[in-house]
Structure 1
Amino acid sequence: MLSNKENEFLMNSELTGGISAKTNPLENGQEKYLFFSLLISITYATILTYLPIDGFRDRDNYLIYAEYSLDIFQSHLDQGLGYTLVNEPLWLLINILLSFFLYPEDCVRVIVFFSSFVVSFVILRAYPKYFLLIFLFLLVPQVLKNHIIHLRQGMAIAVFLFGWFSKNTSIRWLFIILSSFIHSSFFFILVLLLLNNIFLMLSFSWGWLLFFYVLVGLFLDFAGAGLATHLGARQADELQSLEMKTSGLGFLLWLFFSGILILEGKNFMRRYSFSLFVLIVYLSGYFFLPVTARVFESTLLLVLISSLYLTSYRKLAFYGIFTFYFFFDWYQRLEWSAFGWGATS
């Protein structure tokens, strides 16, 4: 059990999403901003929900889940409880529940709406001062694709962020853990989160801490797929065979961004240590297997949010990096089918 002092530290750390009495719009009586965030989130989710069902990659798979999840779940149970637990049982149960009331196409639409609404609303309401920047974060292709082609991952991110921004410790950890049973990448994220808290409580120097972060990243990339195979997780073959789409430019961009976080100083790094941890883990395995890439994509919004509290030239440097990253990524996609997410791309 954690002591009162340790619980107080965790409550004030990055795990709370950086919300304080001064920044929470509800506690400041900013009901108008809350309503505005709600309206924007509904609009954002509605637009994504009514994109063509069959116009994007993997939609056939999600329609299969919507129609046959009960059969899939039963087949997993036949192979044992352990096998069932590591193969995203909550994702299957969500589809089973929706299929009782809706056609497969409508099940997919409900999933898209729920995940995109929750993700947008919880972060917009938390940072009223940075509304425009937060909204741009939601339009980053790596964020947007979770509500267009990687719907299972998008649902897990929504559940995770709901827990992350909760003030109630029990609810926070409950939803963070539940996200692991929707998308298996969150098992790795849960491990990173626990390791990060342990490292902080042991008060390692930042030199040693960064060294441990790199070691963890290398371990995940070289052992992650093997662990998934041993546990029988569905993603094992996918992680083994997934084609890496990396570029030196992307590596340099995120390396530069992690350097900015480090230059902000020890207090900042301690508060946003998890974002720094995820970044370093991602970079350490950037040119190897794609395990850490999945982890990074699932936590990208938290990494971007950590930049909101940069100061001086470091904030200006971030604005420059993000502007380049945002427009360059979209510029590339203009020539691709459905911006790179098309069913035939």
Structure 2
Amino acid sequence: MLPDEQWSLGSGISVHRVRVGCAVYKLLVLFVAVGYGGMLSQIPAEHFKDFGNYLIYAEHSWVRLLGMLDRGLLVTLSNEPVWLLINAGLGAFLTAETVVRIIIFGSATSVAWLVLRSDPRHFIWLLLFMLLPVVLKNHLVHLRQGAAIALFLWGWFSPSRTVRSVLMGVTPFVHASFFFVLAVHLVAKGARCLKLGPDVRTLVFGTMGVGVAFGLAWLASLLGARQVETYNFAMTDVSGLGFVFWLLVFVIMVMDGRRFLREHAFETGIIVFYLSTYWLIEITARIFESGMLLVLLAGLALTGWRRPAFLVAIIVYGIMTWLLRMGQPAMGFAGG
């Protein structure tokens, strides 16, 4: 056999092995993702915060949607109409509890599938990310937010620009926090196109956050958003530990250099957005949580000592948040 024929044969075998390996990994991820979604959807969630409220959504979303349409298109668009349509569509054929559990299963499975297959080299870390309380609560307590995160990630990882735009564009009408997540995303893209330096981008995101902190209550009231009735647009007493932790994460990312900051302008931008509002308004924590998984994924792209430093910080963060929930009803999820 000639040398080039041997090389061709060896190359073909290598490609085949890679394809088989990819297929096996995808099957593993699918199995884990379905198991993750299935387990969360079968937890006796009637003991968890807001489960009863989601049953009401499943039963009466169509009536709510018609009521908002009577108040005007702007009010309707400000109150998550796609979330209502999802519930109304499923509720037309299924019982209320089945609707809620299908939403949990679909959202949790989708998020797990997309996150776990994003980087096979870091499967264990990705799985640990999915077990953080701040991630789990989106499929146990904040179901609306969990559904929006699933759609956002489908769009984020889509190779099609059209599909990406449609899916990401729908998310604010499932959970209003994504109006601001998309704003950060668009500003990050604009800053990259303008080739703004990391210092200027940080200033822009910080100014943006302060503006939102002082103007959000007025805007929500003007648009008739549901958050006016359910949230206090001010800062309650906070320990400051969250601020210190995410500031540390941001500093680690900054120390990785300009290239990292440019490639992950959205992820670092949403951290700055959150930090700039931390002492001013509590509700922006929900905005940050909507983009947190992408921040965690960005941390895996850190180089040198920065990546282990980031991972150690996340381990400490995860252990502390679980320890704080020990002994509480439903592991602390009963309170949100």
TM-score normalized with structure 1 length: 0.89
1:280 aligns with 2:294: no
Cα distance change on mapping 1:245 and 1:141 into 2, 3 Å: farther
Of residues 253, 258, 274, the one that matches 1:266 is 258
Output the CA distance in 2 between the equivalents of 1:75 and 1:217.
Answer: 33
Aligned-residue offset at 1:291: 3.3
State how 1:79-158 maps to structure 2 within 5 Å.
79-158=71-150
The CA deviation at 1:246 is 3.0
Answering whether residue 38 of structure 2 is matched by residue 38 of structure 1, we say no
Unaligned runs of 5+ residues in structure 1 are: 1-24
Bigger CA drift: 271-280 or 240-249?
240-249
Q: Is the 8 A contact 2:234 2:282 kept in 1?
A: yes
Question: Is 1:56 paired with 2:66?
Answer: no
Q: Where does residue 12 of structure 2 map in the other structure?
A: none
Name the amino acid aligned to 1:297.
E
| Count of paired positions | 320
Kindly indicate whether the alpha-carbon contact (under 8 Å) linking 1:53 and 1:59 is maintained by their aligned counterparts in 2. Answer: yes
Q: CA deviation at 1:127?
A: 1.1
* Distance in 2 between residues matched to 1:112 and 1:242, nearest whole Å: 30
Task: Say if 1:275 and 1:302, in contact at 8 Å, map to a contact too.
Answer: yes
State which structure, 1 or 2, has the greater radius of gyration over its C-alpha atoms. Answer: 2
Q: Which runs of 5+ in 2 are unaligned?
A: 1-16
Greater shift, 287-296 or 330-339, is seen at 287-296
Shift in Å, 1:26: 9.4
Percent identity between the aligned chains?
Answer: 39
- CA drift of 1:210 comes to 1.1
Q: Could you say which residue in structure 1 is the equivalent of 2:296?
A: 304
Quick one: which amino acid aligns to residue 76 of structure 1? Answer: M
Query: Would the alpha carbon gap of residues 226 and 335 (structure 1) be closer, same or farther in structure 2, given more than 3 Å must change?
Result: same
Shift of 1:183: 0.4
What CA distance in whole angstroms lies between the structure 1 residues aligned with 2:264 and 2:231?
A: 28
CA RMSD of aligned residues (A): 1.7
* CA spacing shift, 1:53–1:291, aligned 2, 3 Å: closer
Q: How far apart, CA to CA, are the structure 2 residues paired with 1:119 and 1:170?
A: 20
TM-score under structure 2 length normalisation: 0.91
Contact 1:239 1:289 in 2 (8 A): no
- The worse-fitting range, judged by mean Cα deviation, of 284-293 and 43-52 is 284-293
Task: Provide the C-alpha distance between the structure 1 equivalents of 2:20 and 2:162, rounded to a whole number of angstroms.
Answer: 24
| Structure 1 residue 290 displacement after superposition | 2.1
Q: Which moved more, 1:231-240 or 1:186-195?
A: 231-240
Q: Aligned pair 1:336/2:300, yes or no?
A: no
Whether the aligned pair in 2 keeps the contact of 1:226 and 1:236 (CA below 8 Å) is no
Q: How does 1:148-187 map to 2 (within 5 A)?
A: 148-187=140-179
